């Protein structure tokens, strides 16, 4: 999916120990830009959790993350949001989709590019029960500059 040279270049942004972690970090970064460049998803989903802290507030990053935690801002049907997420993230292939009363999950699986080949995963979990934020929702600019993907 991502050429080796682009993964190596991303190491300056994601100083993780293994190539797989660097690759997954780049995939997570692109995924976030894809999600929040879409008006519908931007209006309905808030990014939170450990990945949000390290991607938006802690520089340099201090914690490696494998997943994206989202919360549905307003109560409503999750199906259209799931469908739009899949459209925006089609570069990852088809996910396994799990819908439950409180949490809904998209699970993407893909293989690392640099040997040894390892099966990687990206889990996107949407909490559909907590539709409030004590301190409100904050908007932050997030930018990805990579030879593989470059956007805000």
The answer to whether 141 and 84 have CB atoms below 8 angstroms apart is no
- For the domain that residue 18 is a member of, what is the CATH number? 3.10.450.620
Q: What share of the chain is helix, strand, coil (3-state, %, to 5)?
A: 35, 25, 45
Domain-embedded: residue 147: no
- 78 is in which domain, residue-wise? 4-130
Domain-embedded: residue 103: yes
Q: Where are the alpha helices (DSSP H) in 16-149?
A: 19-36, 39-44, 50-56, 79-88
Domain-embedded: residue 53: yes
Domain-embedded: residue 152: no
Domain-embedded: residue 142: no
* Res. 4: pLDDT tops 90: yes
pLDDT in tens, 99-135: 887 789 999 999 999 999 999 999 999 998 877 666 6
- Number of domains into which the chain is organized: 1
CB atoms within 10 A of CB 149: 18
Domain-embedded: residue 123: yes
Which token pair is 110?
Answer: 């893909």
Domain-embedded: residue 23: yes
The H helix count followed by the E strand count for the chain is: 5, 7
pLDDT in tens, 44-89: 999 988 888 888 888 777 778 889 999 999 888 999 999 999 999 9
The answer to whether 104 and 85 have CB atoms below 8 angstroms apart is no
Domain-embedded: residue 141: no
Q: Could you tell me the CA-to-CA distances from 122 to 2, 26, 59, 75, 105 in Å, in that order?
A: 15, 11, 22, 25, 10
The answer to whether 51 and 64 have CB atoms below 8 angstroms apart is no
Which residue has 């460049």 as its token pair? 37
């Amino acid at each position: 999916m991502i050429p080796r040279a682009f993964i190596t270049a991303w190491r300056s942004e994601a100083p993780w120990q293994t190539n797989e972690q660097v690759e997954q970090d780049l995939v997570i970064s692109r995924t976030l830009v894809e999600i929040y460049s879409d008006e519908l998803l931007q209006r309905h989903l808030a990014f939170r959790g450990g990945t949000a802290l390290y991607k938006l507030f802690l520089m340099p990053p201090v914690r490696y993350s494998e997943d994206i935690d989202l919360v549905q801002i307003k109560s409503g049907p999750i199906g259209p949001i799931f469908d739009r997420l899949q459209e925006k993230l089609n570069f990852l292939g088809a996910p396994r989709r799990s819908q439950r009363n409180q949490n809904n999950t998209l699970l993407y699986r893909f293989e690392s590019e640099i040997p040894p080949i390892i099966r990687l995963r990206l889990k996107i979990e949407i909490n559909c029960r907590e539709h409030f934020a004590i301190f409100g929702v904050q908007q932050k600019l997030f930018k990805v500059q990579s030879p593989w993907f470059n956007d805000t």
